[in-house]
Each structure stands twice: as structure tokens, then as C-alpha cells.
Amino acid sequence: MAYARASGPTASRYLDVIAVSIIINLACFFPPLTFLWVALVVTSLGLKTFNHVPRELLVKRQASYKQEINVRNFMTSGDPSDLQDKPF
């Protein structure tokens, strides 16, 4: 649905993909830079993963626990208000 709303492949939200593609193509044109590019990407992804994923998993676990309680209360009582206007 979001793809269909764009006015074309050069819509502003797709320009970042084009910019990254240019950098990757240049790196592939110069083989020694390819190794550096891959090392940079892998290192960046690793750092992002170790810095953000544990925190996000904790938040997801807490939200899932609250959702489980809400559904359990609804299944026990049959009252739709147990599911309405809940943050999760």
C-alpha cells in the first residue's frame, strides 16, 4: 500500500536506496574497497544489534505479557472491555 502511494521510483523516500546503491556500485568497481565496505556494514550491523536488540526484546516481552493478561481476562470473563482501550 505504501508503494502505491509514491509518485514514482524517485520519490523522496526512495532516494536513500539510490544513494546507498551508488556507494555499493563504486565499492564493487574498486575490489579493495569491497572488503572495506562489507567489513563496515557487518561491523555496523553487529554494533546496532548488540546495542538495541536486547532492549527492544525486553520491551516486547513486557508488552506481550500485558497482552497475554488482557486476553486471559477476556477469555475468563467474556467482557469486551477487557480488550478495549488497552495500551497493548
What per-residue confidence (pLDDT) applies to 1?
42
What per-residue confidence (pLDDT) applies to 10?
53
pLDDT tens-digit profile, the chain (88 residues): 444 555 555 556 666 777 777 777 777 777 777 788 778 888 988 888 888 888 888 999 999 999 899 899 989 998 888 888 877 6
What per-residue confidence (pLDDT) applies to 77?
92
79 close to 57: Cβ distance less than 8 angstroms? no
Residue 50 grid coordinates: 548488540
* Locus of grid cell 536486547: 54
Least Cα distance to 44 among 28, 20, 26 occurs for 20
Residue 30 grid coordinates: 574498486
- pTM of this prediction? 0.49
The CA distance from 80 to 77, in Å, is 9
